[in-house]
Amino acid sequence: MRQSSLFTGALGIVLALVSPVQGAWRLIWSDEFNGPANSLPDPSKWTYDLGNNNGWGNHELETYTNLPENAHMDGQGNLVIHVETALSGYTSARLKTQGLFAAQYGRVEARIKLPSGQGIWPTFWMLGSDVATVGWPRCGEIDIMENIGSQPSTNHGSMHGPGYSHESALTAAYNLPGGRRFSDDFHTLSIEWSRRAVRFYVDGGSYKTVAVESIPRTAQWIFDNPFFLLLNVAVGGNFSGPPDATTLFPQDMLIDYVRVYQER
């Protein structure tokens, strides 16, 4: 969810669409978001980041809350992250599994319908569980889904670490064919993460692989530790830019499920 730039072709990143590697996967954690309408996210699985925190390091404009107005079940099997205007600017939600669940290797997947519009910045991502002690980017970051609302057909997959963060992140973009938009329907965003590589997928097609050999020679591969999950919708910020007169509010991100698998 940090600022990233489009990177193609170098550092060992593979952009060709291929079928995902087939294997025997065992589900180890999930949230299907099947609670009743207007119920809160399961507190045994999710907690929150709150406030504005000086723009979260990206000059963001939203304030994150734990209010049901900003994060709730819709009663139809989806979690809703709801973004709306307020006297203070904008309110949204940033959910995380920090302290409750972390994964180390496996398949991490969510089925999501995105919001859209200039200045809207939805993300499904992961941070190293040691972020509180070592800081960012030494903890590592994996952006499974990162979208700029003004580019409704494009998903950005990225990895940040010490020596390859911010504008030097290892990142690539996937564009839906035929001008389709991620806000038109649900799409499955996932990674397959092994000890020496992370492969990124949209709807089962792999568009990017980052391996140990992909990072700069002087940098450290730090993706061999547990990572926790995050879901949020930011407003404004370095990556998306601020809303403008074309941006409509409220905005909703719908999450059908989040699932984590390990190989048997």
Active site residues: 141, 146
Cis peptide, bond prior to residue 250, ω within 30 of zero: yes
CA 226 – CA 103 distance, rounded (Å): 5
Kind plus residue range of the DSSP H or E element containing 134:
helix 131-134
Task: Give the closest residue to 67 by CA, choosing from 35, 37, 100, 41.
Answer: 41
CA 68 – CA 40 distance, rounded (Å): 6
222 φ, ψ (degrees, to nearest 5): -115, 25
Pick left, alpha or beta for residue 11 (phi over 0 → left; psi -120 to 50 → alpha; otherwise beta): left
Beta-sheet pairing, 187-193 with 106-113 = antiparallel
By three-state DSSP, how is residue 167 classified? helix
Does the CA dihedral 8-2-181-235 come out positive or negative?
A: negative
